[in-house]
């Protein structure tokens, strides 16, 4: 079994550029527009390490709504990194906002949270420092 989250965003190309710059994601696939031919790709797939995720446009007729459409995100995406501080700093440098600072936690991990420019919430975790 393989799970591949799909993040719904207003502008998949802009989101793809953010994830490539901020997370080092590799863009591996892009599908042409479907339905309301507004030029937005219907899906862009990314790879980070061994994980994959996709971004797709918000399309109200399909029930695909972005966090901004919903007033927030109901999902937390957790990523483990060798250097969570560096990942958090790159995300912020490219437009994310810190919601919980990255610091050593009693759980034995270093972690914190960001909200990306599209409203998706990320927990960034890694080894203690």
Structural domains of the chain, with CATH: 6-126 (3.10.180.10)
At 2, is the pLDDT very low, low, confident or very high (cuts 50, 70, 90)?
A: confident
Residues 6 or more apart from 47 whose CB is under 8 A from it?
Answer: 25, 26, 28
At 86, is the pLDDT very low, low, confident or very high (cuts 50, 70, 90)?
A: very high
**pLDDT at 17 (0 to 100):** 98
The model's pTM is 0.92
Q: What is the pLDDT of residues 16-55, one digit of tens each?
A: 999 999 999 999 999 988 765 678 889 999 999 999 999 9
């Amino acid at each position: 079994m393989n799970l591949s989250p799909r993040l719904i965003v207003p502008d998949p190309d802009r989101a793809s550029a953010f994830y490539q710059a901020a997370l080092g994601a590799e863009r591996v696939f892009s599908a042409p527009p479907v339905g309301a031919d507004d030029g937005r790709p219907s899906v862009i797939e990314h790879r980070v390490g061994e994980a994959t995720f996709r971004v797709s446009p918000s399309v109200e007729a399909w029930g695909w709504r972005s966090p901004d459409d919903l007033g927030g995100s109901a999902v937390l995406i957790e990523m483990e990194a060798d250097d969570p501080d560096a990942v958090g700093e790159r995300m912020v440098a490219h437009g994310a906002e810190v919601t919980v600072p990255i610091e050593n936690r009693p759980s034995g991990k270093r972690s914190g949270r960001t909200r990306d420019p599209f409203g998706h919430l990320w927990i960034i975790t890694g080894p203690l420092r």
